[in-house]
Amino acid sequence: MRFYTRFVRAKKGMSTIFGALFFVILILMGFNLMLWNFAQFDAYNRVITTMGLSDQQRSAEVLTFNPPGIMNTGSPFNFTVNNIGGVTSTIARIYVQNLAPLNVGSPCQGATGCIADPNGITTFNNPNIKNGESFHVVKVTGIAIDNSGYRIVVATTRGNQFSFYFPWPSNLGGGSNSNSTNTAHGALDVKFDLNSFNFTRGTQTIPQQGWTVPYSTNVIWWVKVVNNAVNPIVLSKYTSLYFVCYQDRFGAGAGTGTCTETDLTYVVDNRTMNPGTIYQYDDVNRPYILPAAGPNGPTGTTTVKFGSFCPGLQTFDSNGNCVSGSPSPPQDVDFPTPYLVFMGFFYKVNGVIVGQTISFVAIRACATYPSCP
């Protein structure tokens, strides 16, 4: 009773107690918030660390393949792979796509190509490749592969893709295993031999060597080119031959009026046989496609024809300007004199537009053709 009485009379100290309690609650709440924040941030950092480690392992994956890529055609086929990365890799899927656009009937074309999956009918074995392992053989069952062009993409469980081409390209531009001489250093090349530069005139359908030609006569030039790159080449409509009568253009006779011309001759469609009927070059719907190189070098030669005064689907108007329309205007060389021929090739390879000049040949246009002493 006495204690109660004293407590009731001691009201003067209550505000201090309540104030203290109030601030203690506030401090505890702040502390609690801080702890909660730490816990959340710690959990977040743990995720970041885990995923960072995963990404690190992903970037440490490096697989390479060995020539000839696929060891045998048909089904099943094998290829070998080396793991030169820092972690063991597991192949999740193998995608095979046929790249040869004109190779109708070959396997692995269409919307889904061919897919080898561990759980599918088309499957493969030996998916685990230890780091440092070389010539690890993977056998793919269910896809009959042939010698047309394929891209094989090997996808790993960590989300990396490694690919190779079959047939295996033996050189990546500039190289050659041919007996003829290279004239260029880029993907596109002209093998210089007796039959690499020809022409037709009049109604000719069989070309003849173009080292000497008649002057002031419409001609179609036939040039054999090859593709050293591992990707197909698509020629642009601006591909052209540039004729310079060098004797007087660059020499002592420059400006004397004997020969002051240059001739630009654009690419024409490959249906063109002679200047009698020139088909305009449509690089969208009917382009020249130079097939990708194979394991033994370029895949054959492609004859590219030139003979138009204007590029692409153009003709010239009454003022001599190139305007849209047809027919394709012919081209010639106007003077009986030697010409240097520069070949300006514009093409698309692996999605990139490339310009390449091949300083290729010299020709002589003469008044006494076919006898040109």
Partner 1 sequence: MRKIGILGWAETRARRNHRSRKAISTIMANLTMLVIVVSLSSLLFVWSISSFGAYTGGAGYWFSSRSIANQERPSVEGVFFSKTGSTNNVVTVFVRNVGAVPFTVASVYLNSTLYNIVLPQVGVSQVQQVQLTLSGQLWVKGDLQTITVATLRGTTTQTTWVP
Residues 86-105 that bind partner 1 (CB under 8 A): 92-93, 95, 97, 101
- Candidates 38-46, 62-70, 176-184, 208-216: pick the segment binding partner 1 (CB under 8 A): 38-46
Pick from 28, 38, 53, 54 the residue near partner 1 by CB under 8 A.
Answer: 54
Q: Which residues contact 189 (CB under 8 A, 6 or more apart)?
A: 174, 176, 182, 183, 225, 226, 227, 228, 298, 358
Asked if 146 contacts 134 with a C-beta cutoff of 8 angstroms, the reply is no
E-strand stretches of 245-311: 262-268, 289-290, 302-308
Whole-number Å distance between alpha carbons of 372 and 119:
72
Which of 68/113 has CB closer to partner 1? Answer: 113
Asked if 240 contacts 195 with a C-beta cutoff of 8 angstroms, the reply is no
Which of 54/177 has CB closer to partner 1? Answer: 54
Question: Site mask, partner 1, residues 323-362, x = CB under 8 A?
Answer: -------------------------xxxxx----------
Query: Among 126, 139, 56, which residue's Cα sits nearest to residue 90?
Result: 126
Whole-number Å distance between alpha carbons of 177 and 155:
33
Pick from 5, 16, 112, 318 the residue near partner 1 by CB under 8 A.
Answer: 112
CA torsion, points 275, 279, 282, 283, in degrees to nearest 10?
-40
Question: What's the min distance (Å) between Cβ of 343 and partner 1?
Answer: 20
33 binds partner 1 (CB under 8 A): yes
User: Which residue is it, tokens 């009959």?
Assistant: 144
- Candidates 109-117, 121-129, 200-208, 218-226: pick the segment binding partner 1 (CB under 8 A): 109-117
13 binds partner 1 (CB under 8 A): no
Q: Are strands 123-124 and 136-141 parallel, antiparallel or unpaired?
A: antiparallel
| Six-digit token string for 301 | 């030669």
- Candidates 29-37, 302-310, 314-322, 327-335: pick the segment binding partner 1 (CB under 8 A): 29-37
Residues 216-235 that bind partner 1 (CB under 8 A): 231-234
161 binds partner 1 (CB under 8 A): yes
- Candidates 20-28, 62-70, 293-301, 304-312: pick the segment binding partner 1 (CB under 8 A): 20-28
Whole-number Å distance between alpha carbons of 202 and 209:
15
Q: Which residues contact 111 (CB under 8 A, 6 or more apart)?
A: none
Whole-number Å distance between alpha carbons of 208 and 190:
17
Pick from 5, 15, 179, 205 the residue near partner 1 by CB under 8 A.
Answer: 15
Angle at 83 between CA 77 and CA 89, to 5 degrees: 85
Question: What's the min distance (Å) between Cβ of 155 and partner 1?
Answer: 4
59 binds partner 1 (CB under 8 A): no
Pick from 22, 31, 38, 250 the residue near partner 1 by CB under 8 A.
Answer: 22
DSSP string, 61-116: --EEEEEEEESSSBSSEEEEEEE-SSS-EEEEEEEEEE--TT-TT-SS-STT-EEE
110 binds partner 1 (CB under 8 A): yes
- Candidates 44-52, 68-76, 268-276, 300-308: pick the segment binding partner 1 (CB under 8 A): 44-52
367 binds partner 1 (CB under 8 A): no
Query: Among 64, 78, 297, 74, which residue's Cα sits nearest to residue 167?
Result: 297
Residues 227-286 that bind partner 1 (CB under 8 A): 231-234
209 binds partner 1 (CB under 8 A): no
Interacting residues with partner 1 (CB under 8 A): 15, 19, 22, 25-26, 29, 33, 36-37, 40-41, 43-44, 47-48, 50-51, 54, 58, 92-93, 95, 97, 101, 109-113, 115, 153, 155, 157-161, 231-234, 289, 348-352
